[in-house]
Structure 1
Amino acid sequence: MLNFKNIALRRGVRVLFANASFTLHKGQKVGFTGANGAGKSSLFALVKNELHPDEGDFTMPPDLEVAHVAQETSATEQSAIDYVTDGDQELRRLQQQLSAAEHANDGLKIAEYHALLDTIDGYTAAARASRLLNGLGFSTEKEQRPVNSFSGGWRMRLNLAQALMCRSDVLLLDEPTNHLDLDAVIWLQDWLCKYPGTLLLISHDRDFLDTITDHIVHIEQNKAEIYTGNYSDFEKMRAEKLSQQQSAYQKQQREMAHIQSFITRFKAQATKARQAQSRIKALERMEVIAMAHVDSPFDFSFPKPEKMPNPLLSLDKADIGYGQTCIIKQVGLTISPGDRIGLLGSNGAGKSSLIKVLADEMHPLTGTKRGADALRIGYFAQHQLEQLHTDESPLWHVQQLDKQATEKDLRNFLGGFDFRGDKVLEPVKPFSGGEKARLVLALLVYQNPNLLLLDEPTNHLDLEMRHALSVALQDYQGAIVVVSHDRHLLRSVTDKFLLVAHGKVQPFDGDLDDYRVWLTEQKKLDNKSVAEPAAQSVSRKDQRKLDAEHRLKQKPLYDALKKAEQAVEKYHQEQRQLEQQLAEPSLYEESEKARLKQVMALKMQVDKALNDAEEAWMEAEDRLASAQSA
């Protein structure tokens, strides 16, 4: 057990919390909540013995194995699967001892270490590491890539997998979903529900906390208190306490009015009964949630767009990708006022690329995109946090959008995003990721867009800000397209899902629970599933040899796929050239009849060849997928 008795923690002269007393027992799954800077991470540092209490006592059994996610990843040449396997430190220690015994030809020690490896399931370690990598989105091919070949976000996934690999008694996870897509979040949620040890979890993902936790430690007003139940249970208990405060009552009623108007609008527009019922239930829960956030420091809304042309934006037969690589083919999409679209699909399927094309940050490889003359796009993506002028203040940033506005009006506006007092004049550079994200959202709101394109808008945002954003989006009268791993946000603000998968964008007829079922079915067909070794006697060397033989057998299928992709690209180029010729007015003059007939005939041939090549490409993908899942 972890015993906190009259604990006080300070940061400099500021008291984070004091007189905190609670006990966490074996097997409990505890969520830690509170505003950014309240002291959640400091509590974790206490458990990791990186910090000592300023007052009180913290005790835990000395032999507990505590696992946490490393914040840094060394730029090593080590393979991803070996790096993850390092998380099982006892396994690595036994392997080193076994190697030394073999070198010394000590038969008794060799037998002893083999028996110990068997006891800790050491012979299945490679399979366990592979399953962890698979669940977090790594393909079989990526398992063998060196760690230093991965980007920062993927390295954080490797660190997470390494922490999960540890056969720990206590697991500390601080915002583990920040670098994950929705598929990986759902997988991690299921894994943590089965975790047998004591879990301490910091997260701003409401659904994630709800599903996993059975206790909540909430830090506010210099107190850390423990509540029994999941996050929704905690909200209800806190709501009962806060709703008694008369000063908070009016704000609560205002938020509930927003929510009720959105429920009414949704009921009027919904056409899919199953999704409608799921959404109405989720939105009705929002009334209880509103009560638990009546003292939130955030209070903002989107103004009504000045113009709402119909349609706002459309894509017709658009191929989307980078360079010679097409990720999504033949996208047809029309966005109209009031549309609330959530994009579903695995990491790398093309969701962010689609949003970039809609935001005019990328151009489609083929096809057309049309935007209305009065279209005003508000685009949020993580890279925009790095594009802030770090030496300037929040006030300066908003002033660049409206030179005529008074400082008083801009201060009032920024106050809704919790930039108050001297904070509005401070340079952005030392701001946290959450503060920068709030500023980018504030700039977006101020520009009064009629189409919002949001790519993971809740990363770095705490629960209070996420709630304020969802309330503001519910009352927003423009159109929304959103990618998010925050299922609560998706349930609250979208009424239509598009699935980006297998190179296509198609309507998804269902809700997020149906999407989870779809993911499970896809896993059965997926090339990432890794079978258990046929026998424990298969060594790592032999396993690598088997893997290499398996890849060699699949080489003709990879070659066929590459050839098909090259053919599709070749005919796409020829098709574009012929379309440019057909767009020339001179081709339709009387003297050019013969050449026009020739170009049109050639265009028909290329169109047919392109269609055949695309079918061959899809067949090659299917054959490869079948071979990999066999």
Structure 2
Amino acid sequence: MIQLKNLSLRRGVKELFNNVTLTINPGNRVGVVGGNGAGKSSLFALLRGELVPDGGDALLPPNWTMAHVAQETPALEVSALDYVLDGDAELRSLQAALAEAETRNDGEAIGHLHAELAHVDAYTAEARASKLLAGLGFAPEAMSRPVSSFSGGWRMRLNLAQALMCRSDLLLLDEPTNHLDLETVLWLEEWLKGYPGTLLVISHDRDFLDAVCTHIAEVANQSITLYTGNYSAYEEARAARLALQQAAYEKQQRQIAHLESFITRFKAKATKARQAQSRVKALERLERISAAHVDTPFDFHFDTPANLPNPLLNLDGIAIGYGDKPILSRISLSVEGGSRIGLLGVNGAGKSTLVKLLADELAPMTGKLTKAQTLKIGYFAQHQLETLREDESPLWHVQKLAPEAREQDLRTFLGGFNFHGDAALAPVGPMSGGEKARLALALIVWEKPNLLLLDEPTNHLDLEMRHALTMALQDFPGALIVVSHDRALLEATTDRFWLVSGGAVTPFDGDLEDYRRWRLEQLVESGKPSDGDALGVNRKEQKRQEAEARQRLSTLKKPLQQKLGKLEKELEKLGKIKNELEAFLASEEAYLPENKVKLTESSRQQGEISSQLASIEEDWLAIQEELEALEASI
């Protein structure tokens, strides 16, 4: 298990952790959440031994193998497949030892090493590495290409594959879904749900956390609080805890006000001075409860554009690509005023290429693109962060857009993106990716566009900023086209989808779950092996798991069904007696003088049996609810 004992950590003048105690049990899959700068990445650095605590201990079992995703990828000439195999250090060590033993012609050592290699599944290693690469979107022919031939985003996928290849006891993942498309995120979820070790994952993707995690560790206020359940369960538990904290705070404030009132009224009176002094001491000893804060530091919205033309864009028979090679052809679509469109498609299908066409960053090879005269585009792409001046401040960037605006108005605007005080004047260079992304979004919002083109806008943004962006986009009066692997954002801000697939762009009739099913059907029709598909769906394994689930459900239901059967027999028996009693009590015979004793006894029995029936019916309903809960959970 992982144990933090009275842990304290400072980075410069900032105290990240103060007297933190935490236990994470083997096999837990823990989502680590918290605002940017709260200490999430520093926690990972502590566990990797890159930081030393200022106080207390961070303890891990000494025999655990740890894996994490490297942030840099050297431009190596080894193949992608070999690079991923390097993630299994023990395998590579045994292979090197075998090569050396074979050079020495040491038969005994060769035999021993072959046994060791069999023990670590060396003979399936290439197949496992290929499966990882396929799941992360690499085509079979790409697996033999040198690492140096891949772009930065694909190299990050190689680093992720290398980490997953390691037969680790502890896996640390820091924002693993950044640079992944939606399908690859779904595949990664399935893989992680089957990971047998302990997982700690920093992520701002709530759907990903919901799908993968058994626990949530909230890093906030120099502490770490562990919640059981996925992200949705954490949100409910956190809300309940904050409500209790706020109630306790308000109660304490009333207590403090009472004590202070007494002290003020009686401290000058000789007869009450001693009592007043005792209340002063009580007030000093009181451990103050802080008010619960759930307010987001972000407060912004998109102003209504000066013009809202309709249509905004019209595409007629367009082909686009690079050089003389078209990636997408025969595009004939229009973007109407108020459209809210999500782009779907596998990585490399051409989603970003289409967005560049719409943003006027890429000219059409053929066809005609017609724009409204008053079209004003707000375009966010990852390279937007590279266009920021690293030596200048957020305030400088907004002043470039609005040189006539009052500085206080600009600072108030930047405050909505959490650039308050000195932060608005600090150089952009040292800022985190999340802060730079916030600034890039702020510059777009200031421009008051009537068409937003957003290509993975949530990369680097924390959960609070993602929520604030989602709220702002829901109220945006213009048109929106978005590419994102953040399903919560797509579902909350778009109402229809365009499918980018097979060199074409067509409307997609359905939601994200329909798209997932459609992709699965495509993979089955293409004849790809089901255990290597991009959605991580293994049909045989799925059927086996479903059979096991049915068996498990049957085993759990059996004793409940037996209890239910007994209760139903009892209900039937008592029901017959009650009917007989009620028939007698309703008859004229019951009120004859000679039946006075029987009438009294029958009335008493009817009351008792009615009470018994009500009790048994409650038990019957409770068991029915248990059975329904079991059905829903398996």
Regarding TM over 0.5, the answer is yes
Tell me if the contact between 2:319 and 2:367 (Cα under 8 Å) persists in the aligned partners: yes
Question: 2:587 — aligned with what?
Answer: none
Question: 1:367 — aligned with what?
Answer: 367
Equivalent residue runs for 1:396-435 within 5 Å: 396-435=396-435
Deviations 1:572-621 (A, max 9, x none): xxxxxxxxxxxxxxxxxxxxxxxxxxxxxxxxxxxxxxxxxxxxxxxxxx
Q: Distance in 2 between matches of 1:526 and 1:446?
A: 47
Q: 1:433 to 1:527 in 2, by over 3 A?
A: farther
Shift of 1:303: 0.7
Q: 1:233 to 1:531 in 2, by over 3 A?
A: closer
Letter in 1 for 2:11: R
Q: Distance in 1 between matches of 2:531 and 2:401?
A: 56
Deviations 1:546-574 (A, max 9, x none): xxxxxxxxxxxxxxxxxxxxxxxxxxxxx
After TM superposition, the structure 1 stretch with the greater mean CA deviation from structure 2, 70-79 or 353-362, is 70-79
Q: Secondary structure at the match of 2:94?
A: helix
Q: 1:178 to 1:527 in 2, by over 3 A?
A: farther
Question: 2:572 — aligned with what?
Answer: none
Question: 2:356 — aligned with what?
Answer: 356
Question: 1:585 — aligned with what?
Answer: none
Question: 1:617 — aligned with what?
Answer: none
Instruction: Determine which structure has more spread, i.e. the larger CA radius of gyration.
Output: 2
Q: Distance in 1 between matches of 2:391 and 2:361?
A: 26
Letter in 2 for 1:129: A
Question: 1:216 — aligned with what?
Answer: 216
Q: TM-score, normalised by structure 2?
A: 0.75
Question: 1:458 — aligned with what?
Answer: 458
Letter in 1 for 2:234: F
Q: Distance in 1 between matches of 2:399 and 2:147?
A: 44
After TM superposition, the structure 1 stretch with the greater mean CA deviation from structure 2, 414-423 or 149-158, is 149-158
Question: 1:324 — aligned with what?
Answer: 324
Question: 2:66 — aligned with what?
Answer: 66
Deviations 1:337-386 (A, max 9, x none): 11110000011100001011111111111111111111111111111111
Q: Secondary structure at the match of 1:355?
A: helix
Q: 1:374 to 1:246 in 2, by over 3 A?
A: farther
Q: Secondary structure at the match of 1:375?
A: coil
Question: 2:343 — aligned with what?
Answer: 343
Letter in 1 for 2:24: L
Question: 1:78 — aligned with what?
Answer: 78
Shift of 1:106: 2.2
Shift of 1:245: 8.2
Q: Distance in 2 between matches of 1:161 and 1:328?
A: 30
Tell me if the contact between 2:389 and 2:428 (Cα under 8 Å) persists in the aligned partners: yes
Q: Secondary structure at the match of 2:77?
A: coil
Question: 2:110 — aligned with what?
Answer: 110
Equivalent residue runs for 1:127-206 within 5 Å: 127-206=127-206
Q: 1:242 to 1:301 in 2, by over 3 A?
A: farther
Shift of 1:36: 1.0
Letter in 1 for 2:365: L
Q: 1:530 to 1:108 in 2, by over 3 A?
A: farther
Question: 1:310 — aligned with what?
Answer: 310
Letter in 2 for 1:97: A
Question: 1:517 — aligned with what?
Answer: 517
Q: 1:93 to 1:456 in 2, by over 3 A?
A: same
Equivalent residue runs for 1:468-617 within 5 Å: 468-525=468-525, 529=529
Q: Distance in 1 between matches of 2:203 and 2:494?
A: 22
Equivalent residue runs for 1:7-22 within 5 Å: 7-22=7-22
Question: 1:123 — aligned with what?
Answer: 123
Tell me if the contact between 1:500 and 1:506 (Cα under 8 Å) persists in the aligned partners: yes
Tell me if the contact between 2:524 and 2:530 (Cα under 8 Å) persists in the aligned partners: no
Q: Distance in 2 between matches of 1:520 and 1:125?
A: 26
Tell me if the contact between 2:218 and 2:226 (Cα under 8 Å) persists in the aligned partners: yes
Q: Secondary structure at the match of 2:297?
A: coil
Shift of 1:519: 2.5
Q: Distance in 2 between matches of 1:531 and 1:379?
A: 38
Unaligned runs of at least 5 residues, structure 2: 248-291, 533-634
Q: Distance in 1 between matches of 2:43 and 2:300?
A: 32
Question: 1:558 — aligned with what?
Answer: none
Q: Distance in 2 between matches of 1:495 and 1:464?
A: 23
Q: Secondary structure at the match of 1:180?
A: coil
Shift of 1:122: 0.6
Letter in 2 for 1:27: G
Q: Secondary structure at the match of 1:457?
A: coil
Q: Distance in 1 between matches of 2:242 and 2:402?
A: 38
Letter in 2 for 1:304: T
Shift of 1:176: 0.8
Question: 1:602 — aligned with what?
Answer: none
Question: 1:43 — aligned with what?
Answer: 43
Q: Distance in 1 between matches of 2:348 and 2:531?
A: 24
Q: TM-score, normalised by structure 1?
A: 0.75
Shift of 1:525: 4.6
Q: 1:454 to 1:99 in 2, by over 3 A?
A: same
Q: Secondary structure at the match of 2:116?
A: helix
Q: Secondary structure at the match of 1:172?
A: strand
Q: Distance in 2 between matches of 1:237 and 1:530?
A: 38
Shift of 1:469: 0.2
Q: Secondary structure at the match of 2:64?
A: coil
Deviations 1:405-448 (A, max 9, x none): 11111111000000010111122122111111111100100111
Question: 1:299 — aligned with what?
Answer: 299
Question: 1:376 — aligned with what?
Answer: 376
Q: Distance in 2 between matches of 1:490 and 1:112?
A: 54
Q: Distance in 2 between matches of 1:207 and 1:89?
A: 32
Q: Distance in 2 between matches of 1:425 and 1:30?
A: 37
Question: What's the % identity of the aligned pairs?
Answer: 62
Tell me if the contact between 1:338 and 1:478 (Cα under 8 Å) persists in the aligned partners: yes
Deviations 1:499-553 (A, max 9, x none): 1011111121221112222232333355875999xxxxxxxxxxxxxxxxxxxxx
Q: Secondary structure at the match of 1:417?
A: coil
Shift of 1:242: 3.9
Letter in 2 for 1:59: L
Q: Distance in 2 between matches of 1:246 and 1:422?
A: 31
